[in-house]
Amino acid sequence: MFKDKKVVFSGVQPSGSLTIGNYLGAIKNFNAFSEEYHCLYCVVNEHAITVRQNPAELRKRTYETLALYMACGLDPEKNTLFVQSHVPAHAELGWILDCYTMFGELSRMTQFKDKSAKNADNINAGLFTYPTLMAADILLYQTEMVPVGVDQKQHLELARDIAERFNGIYGDTFVVPEGYIPPATAKIMSLAEPTKKMSKSDENENAVVRILDPRDAIIRKFKRAVTDSGNEIRRGEGKDGIENLMSIYGAFSGKTMEEIETEFAGMGYGDFKLAVGETCADALAPVQAEFDRLMKDKAYLETVMKNGADQANYMASRTMSKVRRKIGFVEIK
């Protein structure tokens, strides 16, 4: 069913409950690619352990992330849905690419600096080489396009550099991937600090709206969202909070910024915040209902994992056979 289709790859970490930023900036857009591309959507649990995880919680969130993929509309018959650790080639290619990635390149990664500051007692080698594993995730499947958030753009550029370097030494081996950043909702910001990206690891629960938050919690969080001292629903300097709420409302309602400004002309922030909260909650309700249904059927989720891993392992094996041969590894049948 996937023959001759170009490949899209993306992954989500099972570390913390996914937010509307993950939904609007990534998962919601994935469906658009399913007909035209062979889409591989991975639960990247190997990336998650760069930060200490509770093992039982990590297993639980792995199931939950897979279920959320499907609850958000990703059909396992049309997409390859799988768990990273079920495909050993990710780790193998990650190590090989480490040997073709320069120390200086990894030192410049802004996410390493940010995560090191947050995890000062656990600045491990995996945290440093995380972008090379991400490059392996992508290059392993000869990926043409990678839907990424703005914060991952630097990592994708590194993956392109690594692919071009390897191809320059050994001849054509990897497809050099292109990035796709959704234009309107590339970055959903914190409700508490609207100049910062919304993060699922934020300790301030009022800053983050999670896909699985109850309706009353969603509306309450939007009511508490930080705005400014004005009262007009419009874009402008110093109106980061309102612009963020407008972006979220537009993403869920399909309305442009101009249409939102017209719709709420003459209305105050309180009315607007309530409208954003209700629109968000209404949009997430069917996702939450389908998620609950899927989580009750663990056997089905494991079948999806197994089928996805079989498809991914087959694709990965073809790339790895080529890579091993080119770098001089001996393979035995």
pLDDT digits (tens, 9 = 90+) for 251-282: 999 899 999 999 999 898 999 999 999 999 99
Better-scored residue on pLDDT, 115 or 18: 18
Q: Write down how long the chain is.
A: 333
Judged against a pLDDT cut of 70, whether residue 3 lies above it is answered with no
| Mean of the per-residue pLDDT values of the chain | 91
Asked if the model's pLDDT at residue 184 lies above 60, the reply is no
Catalytic residue among 78, 197, 255, 326: 197
User: Which pLDDT band holds residue 148 (cuts at 50, 70, 90)?
Assistant: confident
The position carrying tokens 């915040």 is: 273
- Residues 288, 328: Cα–Cα separation, whole Å: 50
List, for residues 293-333, the tens digit of each pLDDT value.
Answer: 999 999 999 999 999 999 999 999 999 999 999 999 998 87
Q: What is the mean pLDDT of residues 203-220?
A: 95
Report residue 176 CA to chain centroid gap: 20
d(CA 84, CA 111): 21
pLDDT higher than 90, residue 214? yes
HSE of 261, CA atoms in CB hemisphere, 13 A: 8
Closest CA to 96 of 59, 152, 136: 136
Q: Is the pLDDT assigned to residue 207 strictly greater than 80?
A: yes
Beta bridge partners of 80: 40
Percent of the chain with pLDDT over 90: 70
Q: Which domains does the chain have, with CATH numbers?
A: 7-181+298-327 (3.40.50.620), 205-292 (1.10.240.10)
**200 given a catalytic annotation:** yes
Catalytic: which of 5, 153, 200, 223? 200
Q: Which of 28, 115, 221, 273 is catalytic?
A: 115
pLDDT value at residue 310? 98
Active site residue 115: yes
Greatest Cα pair distance in the chain: 73
- Per-residue pLDDT band at 186 (split at 50, 70, 90): low
Predicted confidence at residue 58, as pLDDT, reads: 95
